[in-house]
Amino acid sequence: MSKEIPYKIYLEENEMPKQWYNVRADMKNKPAPILNPATMKPITLEELAPIFCGELAKQELDDRTPYFDIPQEIQDFYRMYRPSPLVRAYCLEKKLGTPAHIYYKFEGNNTSGSHKLNSAIAQAYYAKKQGLKGVTTETGAGQWGTALSMACSYFDLDCQVYMVKVSYEQKPFRREVMRTYGATVTPSPSMNTNIGRKINQEFPGTTGSLGCAISEAVEAATTQEGYRYVLGSVLSQVLLHQTVIGLETKTALDKYGIKADVIIGCAGGGSNLGGLISPFAGEVLRGEADYEMIAVEPASCPSLTRGIYAYDFCDTGKICPLAKMYTLGSSFIPSANHAGGLRYHGMSSIVSQLYEDGILTARSVEQTEVFKAAQMFARVEGILPAPESSHAIKVAIDEAMKCKETGEEKNIVFGLTGTGYFDMVAYQKFNDGDMADYVPTDEEIRKSLSMLPKVE
Ligand SMILES: *Cc1c(COP(=O)(O)O)cnc(C)c1O
């Protein structure tokens, strides 16, 4: 070992990325094009224009340009809370008695408490630049809505958030953070939109889903002058913005001559995972290096491990473009588990294609196991992790324990996407021993998959 590795590897400001990396440029098998739900043909820039900001639509459709300059205004905002530290988990290693070296990239050091601000600020910037009045969005657990409300208040944009009802009720404090930053927050399904009214009628008492909230937000954007819809995950543009995570991680590792062996991220819609692994996946795709990369998803919403790779709607209301992705079917409504940010029926088309091509593997983990890992992590590393992030912790611990058996000194890197201060109801359930593990039956999954759209 050349240099002593500190607890925290920080970068200098001038070592921060000035460009986002578009891994699609290095993929031989490109993600399949997104389709217009009206025509079932690849969607064009013009057709995306009523829904998305122009620059973001361009980023969405561009699978050739390897690097996009990060506009100076966004770089300036990033400097308020980035670079984020890459932490060597010395205390966790000691607790586990493992010869493995464990590192985590910590994205919870901003008020929104997660990595989502990396894309929120980019999306708000392009909306402002286009002269819009405001944006609409959905939020599941609340992290995205919080990040977007911060980003919108920075650029003085109106922000309308449709929040999945179960989270709206479970997390009143999240809601108040958003309102403090000036956002309007509506529980979804609501009675404000056609699709919301329809879903309320079809599924009385439903606690909602991300797919449903997306439909409401899109309807709200397209029916108000000067508004566009923005999304916190799944889309390729979001994954692109999140590559700041992976680029910083790579620079930090390189600085100390560390070669990652295993890279782990939790997967909801795939943006943090995709952003973390992109630069590494790029090396694999170009034949320059080899890494084991693992996506971790909840057993209650197992898109990669139990879904199929097919075109599907991104939303319950079937008004968004269709994407080819690993999906459980857009009518799948996952049980009300405590990792709200991972309750999405589909997966980023980039992550899906990388998984299909074997660049990436996936595992699903059950909720109580995840919280056991979260508790151990909190006690030794100090940080109170978000339930979503704890999925990655769980698998990082599993991998480190394998090293203990084999004596291998692997470098394990995982993404710690955020903090769990607004998830204390979940921690309370865990601490009281009241937490259940809900795993959908094959029959349930088959049923929602049987309703997939037919695409040639
Ligand atoms: C939203 C969220 C996730 C999952 O979203 P991805 O798009 O899959 O990254 C993970 N962790 C936290 C803390 C989140 O807020």
Q: In the Cβ-directed half-sphere of 428, how many Cα atoms lie within 13 Å?
A: 6
**Helix crossing, 172-180 with 143-155: angle to 10°?**
10
* pLDDT score, position 398: 98
* pLDDT score, position 455: 84
Q: Is 416 in the pocket of ligand 1 (CB under 6 A)?
A: no
| Candidate of 118, 123, 143 to mutate for ligand 1, largest count of ligand atoms within 8 Å of Cβ | 143
* pLDDT score, position 336: 67
Q: Is 117 in the pocket of ligand 1 (CB under 6 A)?
A: no
Divide the 456 residues of the chain into consecutive groups of 10 and give the mean pLDDT of each group.
83 96 98 95 95 96 98 98 98 98 97 97 98 95 94 98 90 93 97 94 89 90 96 95 98 97 97 98 98 97 96 84 94 76 88 98 97 98 97 98 98 98 92 93 95 86
Atom of ligand 1 at shortest range from CA of 108: 13
Distance 268 CA to ligand 1 centre (A): 6
Q: Is 297 in the pocket of ligand 1 (CB under 6 A)?
A: no
The SS3 of residue 414 is: strand
Instruction: Note the pTM of the prediction, 2 decimals.
Output: 0.96
Please check whether residue 142 is in contact with residue 175, taking contact to mean a CB–CB distance below 8 angstroms.
yes
Query: If you take atom 13 of ligand 1, which residue's CA is the nearest one?
Result: 418
| Candidate of 105, 107, 110, 116 to mutate for ligand 1, largest count of ligand atoms within 8 Å of Cβ | 116
Identify the sign of the CA torsion 415, 295, 238, 111: negative
Distance 3 CA to ligand 1 centre (A): 33
CB count within 10 Å of CB 431 equals: 12
DSSP per-residue string spanning 8-26: EEPPPGGGS-SEEE-GGGG
Token couple for 15: 């070592």
* pLDDT score, position 309: 97
* pLDDT score, position 314: 86
* pLDDT score, position 245: 98
Query: If you take atom 10 of ligand 1, which residue's CA is the nearest one?
Result: 388
Q: Is 386 in the pocket of ligand 1 (CB under 6 A)?
A: yes
Q: Which residues lie closer than 8 Å to 114 by C-beta, 6 or more apart?
A: 107, 108, 143, 147, 341, 386, 388, 417, 418, 419
Identify the sign of the CA torsion 149, 181, 19, 414: negative
Atom of ligand 1 at shortest range from CA of 233: 7
Taken as a whole, the chain contains a residue count of 456
